[in-house]
Amino acid sequence: MKNKNWEKELQSHFDNLRVIENCKTETLQRFEQFCEFIAELAFEALASGLKAKGVRSRIRKEKGRSIGMEIRIPGPRPGWFEYRMILPRNSVDLRMTLRTRGRWADKAEPQETAEPFMEGVDSAAVLKTAKEDLILDIIEHYRNFVYAGLTSPD
């Protein structure tokens, strides 16, 4: 082993720990900004559009962890769909997980998927997401879920 200065190694270790903690704090702050300035505005606009179509929805937020929207699926066997963005525990970068889940009808089995939110988009660009782009993504996932339920052979 090379002759290293143990005091410098120890200091370097504690400096690295401080950097990691700072990154985690900044990531949490960026997530809160994303929720307040993009996600909540998108959810509220979509909720208004859904209400005009007679579809109920609600926004659910877990501070510092996740934000999502639950949308009812109208019809003779009503169900629900949830679109939720989750910030993984101990994140040092704004890379969220998108979890969709729902039930096509009251007695159907719940379905759930998880995928990276905005895969291929750099974390700084996530904060520049237009609310319209987020709304379109929610509609796409909701539509695909509903269509899959309506065409399943059960």
Q: Is the pLDDT of residue 151 over 70?
A: yes
Contact 146, 73 (CB under 8 A): yes
Treating both helix axes as pointing N-terminal to C-terminal, what angle do 131-151 and 40-52 enclose, rounded to 10 degrees? Answer: 50
Rounded to two decimals, the pTM is: 0.87
Q: Which of 17, 22, 23, 15 is nearest to 123 (CA)?
A: 23
Spatial separation of the C-alpha atoms in residues 54 and 47, rounded to whole Å:
10
Average pLDDT over residues 95-117: 89
| Nearest in space to 53 (alpha carbons), one of 129, 115, 146 | 146
Any idea which of 1-10, 26-35, 64-73 has the lowest mean pLDDT?
1-10
- Inform me whether the pLDDT recorded for 87 exceeds 70: yes
